[in-house]
């Protein structure tokens, strides 16, 4: 559990680093943030496809739990994220959340990717750690500015990002311990559920944020992020 906690802290430290940078230098470059968001989105998509779902499929053995988990996770994320960020409408305008609840759910789901990597017996995947880091860094940069504009104090914002980093470590350790002795079907379902939630979050939240700031550049950086994560997986032979 301590090892899983440490890997989770390392992956989640990007939230704290990004938040500290945004508080210190007031990062407001929309193109840069959009491009970085696309990079993180692509890395997450690759990690989900080649690490999380691949591991879930190996465990499930064609039992159908992967498909069920993906569907349930996607529906849960769509309903909740839309309810919080789109005013309860699936097609409403995206709004900034004045807190850390959506981020916390994203962190929890991302920690399951790392858990799936550890569960596979290969140790922590560099591709997964990179994907979570690349996702958390621009999210913290952008969200910090929105929180400060909404009147949140610097100590409140910094404490929030510190808690997100700790949450990533704690969630990774908790899921690793809980799934270690769980039935294979349950493990496959949990991994796929997180995968469905992350895929939906990327499309509903990250991609629109990236497009808003960087336009078509987001598409380029998304492809680069996907390739970077996949390259790490290929290089290390972890898929």
**pLDDT for 219 beyond 90:** yes
pLDDT of residue 235: 81
d(CA 27, CA 8): 26
Tens of pLDDT, residues 17-64: 999 999 888 766 688 889 999 999 999 999 999 888 988 998 988 888
d(CA 179, CA 208): 33
pLDDT of residue 239: 44
Average pLDDT for 233-238: 70
Closest CA to 41 of 206, 193, 197: 206
- Domain range for 103: 2-236
Q: What percent of the chain has pLDDT over 90?
A: 50
- Which of the two residues, 107 and 232, has the higher pLDDT score? 107
Tens of pLDDT, residues 71-100: 999 999 888 876 666 565 666 566 666 788
pLDDT of residue 120: 61
- Which pair of tokens denotes residue 160? 């929030």
Helix (H) or strand (E) holding 8: helix 2-25
Q: How confident is the model at residue 126 (pLDDT cuts 50, 70, 90)?
A: confident
Pair 32, 212: CB distance under 8 Å: no
- What is the domain count for the chain? 1
Average pLDDT for 218-225: 96
d(CA 63, CA 96): 39
């Amino acid at each position: 559990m301590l090892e899983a906690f440490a890997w989770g802290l390392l992956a989640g430290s990007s939230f704290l680093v990004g938040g500290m940078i945004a508080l210190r230098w007031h990062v407001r470059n929309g193109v840069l943030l959009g491009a970085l968001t696309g990079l993180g989105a692509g890395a997450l998509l690759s990690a989900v496809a080649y690490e999380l779902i691949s591991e879930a499929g190996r465990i499930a053995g064609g039992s159908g739990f992967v498909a069920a988990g993906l569907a349930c996770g996607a529906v849960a994320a769509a309903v909740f994220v839309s309810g919080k960020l789109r005013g309860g409408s699936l097609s409403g305008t995206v709004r900034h959340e004045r807190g850390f609840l959506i981020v916390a759910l994203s962190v929890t789901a991302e920690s399951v990717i790392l858990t799936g990597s550890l569960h596979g017996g290969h140790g922590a995947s560099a591709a997964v750690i990179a994907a979570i880091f690349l996702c958390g860094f621009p999210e913290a940069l952008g969200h910090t500015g929105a929180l400060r504009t909404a009147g949140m104090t610097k100590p409140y914002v910094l404490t929030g990002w510190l808690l997100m980093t700790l949450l990533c470590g704690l969630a990774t350790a908790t899921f690793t311990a809980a799934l270690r002795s769980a039935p294979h079907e349950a493990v496959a379902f949990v991994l796929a559920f997180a995968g469905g939630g992350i895929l939906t979050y990327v499309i509903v939240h990250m991609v629109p944020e990236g497009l808003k700031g960087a336009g078509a550049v987001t598409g380029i950086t998304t492809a680069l992020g996907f390739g970077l994560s996949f390259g790490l997986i290929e290089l290390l032979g972890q898929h």
